[in-house]
Amino acid sequence: QVQLVESGGGLVQAGGSLRLSCAASGRTFSSSNIGWFRQAPGKEREFVAAIKWTGGTTNYTVSLEGRFTISRDHAKNTVYLQMNSLKPEDTAIYYCAADPRGTWDIKMTPSAYNSWGQGTQVTVSS
């Protein structure tokens, strides 16, 4: 089992940037695909981005690609989500999650991930 802790959220003005971190512990982290999801009030949790355990393959929601970048540092057991040109509609709680199967096809559905962090709030003001 992987334990995950998100950080880096906060309040930012539209057009600003934030970098979220997902610190992991647990022996299966290095072989797990890691995803970022977000959930706005009254909405379902949605896929944002994910990265394969090797770090060489990424997947993004099409509408966010180009503004958001996911990366991972195996030495620090951490996955990052760099968010640029933030918009008010990016306001949500952001969660990272682990899929320990490390499949070649990165999953985009929450049900594929079995470990979740507690989330970090991102608020973008207009």
Condensed to tens digits (0 to 9), the pLDDT of residues 42-60 reads 999 999 999 998 878 999 9
CA distances from 73 to 11, 30, 78, 80 (A): 25, 10, 5, 8
Q: Per-residue confidence at 27, pLDDT binned at 50, 70, 90?
A: confident
**Both tokens of residue 119?**
């989330």
Mean residue pLDDT across the chain? 94
Average pLDDT over residues 10-14: 98
- Confidence (pLDDT) at 42: 95
φ, ψ of residue 89 to 5 degrees: the values are -70, -5
CB-based contact 76:7 (threshold 8 Å): no
- Confidence (pLDDT) at 26: 83
Q: Per-residue confidence at 96, pLDDT binned at 50, 70, 90?
A: very high
